[in-house]
Amino acid sequence: MTTVFLHIGTHKTGSTSLQTFAAGHREALRERGLHYPLEPTVLTRANKRSHHGWASALAGEDPAVSPATATTIAAGWVRDALANNIDLFVSAESMYRHTASEEGGPSTREGYVRRLARTFEPLSVDVVPILVFRHPVDFIESLYKEMVMVTPDPSFSDFAEFRQQILRRRHGHLGYHANASILKSNFPKLKCAIFEDLRSGGSLETRFFDLMGIDVSGLESFGRSREGTTPLATQLKQLANTWGFDPAKNWKVFDWIRSGETIASAEKIIGTGPFHLWRDDAERAAFVSEMSGQIENLRKDFFPEKSELFAAPGPLVGQPVPEFPRSLKDWLRADGIAKGLIDA
């Protein structure tokens, strides 16, 4: 029987690297028994690498494509796999956070997962979601850096406020156990893995595709997972986000902020670090403690063979990114205005 593997995340666990690998070896994977389909251009957010456009349309977030059409697209992918007696691989970590309403009710995580399950129920296939979890400290640092990078006008003022926003959402990014439980209740064959395990003892691609029974030996890797920006560059970008600039220039602003010239100029004023995002070890320990109950429930219910899921983090290296003095703020703003990136 054909199996549909749904790579649902979580975020910041090498998903982009895995999607780039799969897209770059689409034909080779097909020959090895795995269909990694290309999104149709009818999707507003059609993506040549992943299936974020399809996942968004299924949630009802595509202005041009209804969830029913997304279901039809999935059925076409399944028919292709069935006709060739191979498995199907769909990858979009956004499936980990999407919500959907049912019968006019509120939009919920449960609603989206049930919609996802109903999409494949009539198609005579096994459905196996794959969830990969990362140490929550590394995860929240990486997610914060990305959100500052991609969001010109964030809803949070600093790293501490960002963490609290995420922690308050039961089914949000840090809702490891809650999200896994919802998926398990709808997909009994759910597979869970630990990101740090996948990265040890071999390539991420090899160990991940082993979860689907696919041998990818001999296929070229396209590099490591994306590395986040530095704590200093992150906080400089967060400062720039508080100033007005055209959102269309966001990536140019980011490139300017993380350039060697900008970082060197900032370091002349505040020092060379190294820097980190936490106030101190105690603040980070408090975050770990707040996550401990959820991590233990995740271990008991989904990794019972393990005595622990994540190693205790070592001591912080360096110092917190300091509060920027007026001289740095004035210089950075003036430089951004002179470069045509920041509004005067």
Fold of domain 3-135+171-210: Rossmann fold (3.40.50)
Which token pair is 235?
Answer: 């906080």
State the angle between helix axes of 326-338 and 231-241 in degrees (0 to 180), rounded to the nearest 10.
70
Confidence at residue 146, expressed as pLDDT on a 0 to 100 scale: 93
Which token pair is 89?
Answer: 């691989």
Locus of tokens 């449960």:
110
- 122, 38 Cβ separation under 8 angstroms: no
Per-residue pLDDT for the chain (344 aa), expressed as one digit of tens each?
Answer: 899 999 999 999 999 999 999 999 999 999 999 999 999 999 999 999 999 999 999 999 999 999 999 999 999 999 999 999 999 999 999 999 999 998 888 999 999 999 999 999 999 899 999 999 999 999 999 999 999 999 898 889 999 999 999 998 877 899 999 999 999 999 999 999 999 999 997 799 999 999 999 999 999 987 655 556 899 999 999 999 999 899 999 999 999 999 999 999 999 999 999 999 999 999 999 999 999 999 999 999 999 999 999 999 999 999 999 999 999 999 999 999 999 999 98
Parse the chain into domains and list their residue ranges. Answer: 3-135+171-210, 231-278+316-338
Confidence at residue 171, expressed as pLDDT on a 0 to 100 scale: 73
Q: Strands (DSSP E) along 58-125, which ranges?
A: 87-91
DSSP run (H or E) holding 261: helix 260-270
Alpha-carbon 160 to chain mean position: 20
- pTM for the full predicted model: 0.93
Pairwise CA distance, residues 149 & 268, whole Å: 23
Cα–Cα–Cα angle for 114, 120, 125, rounded to 5 degrees: 135
Q: How many CB atoms are closer than 10 A to CB 245?
A: 19
Helix H segments across 151-203? 159-167, 176-186, 195-198
Q: Quick one: how many helices (H) and strands (E) in the chain?
A: 15, 7
Confidence at residue 224, expressed as pLDDT on a 0 to 100 scale: 54
Give how far Cα 272 sits from Cα of 119, 145, 232, 269, 330, Å: 53, 19, 9, 9, 19
DSSP symbols for 303-332: -TT-S-SSPPP----SEEPPPPPHHHHHHH
